[in-house]
Structure formats: C-alpha cells, structure tokens
C-alpha cells in the first residue's frame, strides 16, 4: 500500500513538472550564466610586460572563454600599438637622443 502511494505521488510530481516546463511556467535553462571564479585584476591604463602575467581568465567547459581572452588581447594590442607609434614619433623628432638612448645603436 505505502509503495503504491509513493509511486503515485512521484508520478503526479513528474507530470506536474513536465507540464510546468512545457508551458513555460517553470524555467528550465540548462545553461546558467557563467560564474567568475577568479578575480580579474584587468590591465592598468599603461600596461607593462609584467602586467600581462597578472591577467587571469575564467575557464569554461573546454578551456578559456575565448571572448574574454580576445577582449583582453585586443586592449593590450591597442595599447602597445599606441606606445609604438608614440615612440616612433619621438625618435623621429629627436634622432640624436634616440640613438644615444638605444643600446643597439639603431
């Protein structure tokens, strides 16, 4: 008698759950929002090569989240390109000082 009552209750609960999900009244999102497990120090306004070592990325099911990595690398690429343009401009404006400060002489 008791096992029959338990079986009926489980069956009713299962039917209610399926109908609730099918009607949209019960949310059934198999992919929940990602949870960040590591603190992101980000990159400072003027990153140095040592700052790159401090950047950490959350891992996803199959490794790093590619969009996070791509965003950080784009920012770093832009900052470094800006520095290279500034350095080239300053070297062009002051070639004697640039040659004196360059250990390779070029």
Predicted confidence at residue 29, as pLDDT, reads 66
27 pLDDT more than 90: no
pLDDT at residue 72, rounded to an integer: 83
Per residue in 56-82, pLDDT (tens digit) is 777 667 777 778 888 888 888 888 888
Give the pLDDT band (50/70/90) at residue 20: confident
Q: Using 50, 70 and 90 to split pLDDT, how confident is the model at 46?
A: confident
Distance CA 91, CA 99 (A): 8
Burial class of 91 by CB neighbour count within 10 A (0 to 12, 13 to 18, 19+):
middle
Indicate whether 45 pLDDT > 50: yes
Report the pLDDT value the prediction gives residue 42, as an integer from 0 to 100: 72
The confidence score (pLDDT) of residue 106 equals: 46
In sequence order, what E strands does 1-106 have? 59-60, 63-64
Structure confidence at residue 105 as a pLDDT band (50, 70, 90):
very low
**Contact 36/60 with Cβ under 8 angstroms?**
no
């Amino acid at each position: 008698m008791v096992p029959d009552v338990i079986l009926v209750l489980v069956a009713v609960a299962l039917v209610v759950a399926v109908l609730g999900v099918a009607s949209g009244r019960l949310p059934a999102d198999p992919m929940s929002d990602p949870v960040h497990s590591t603190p992101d120090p980000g990159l400072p306004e003027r990153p140095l090569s040592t700052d790159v070592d401090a950047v950490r990325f959350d891992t996803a099911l199959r490794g790093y989240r590619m969009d996070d990595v791509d965003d950080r690398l784009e920012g770093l690429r832009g900052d470094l390109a800006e520095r290279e343009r500034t350095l080239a401009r300053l070297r062009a404006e002051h070639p004697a000082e640039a040659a004196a400060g360059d250990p390779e002489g070029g």
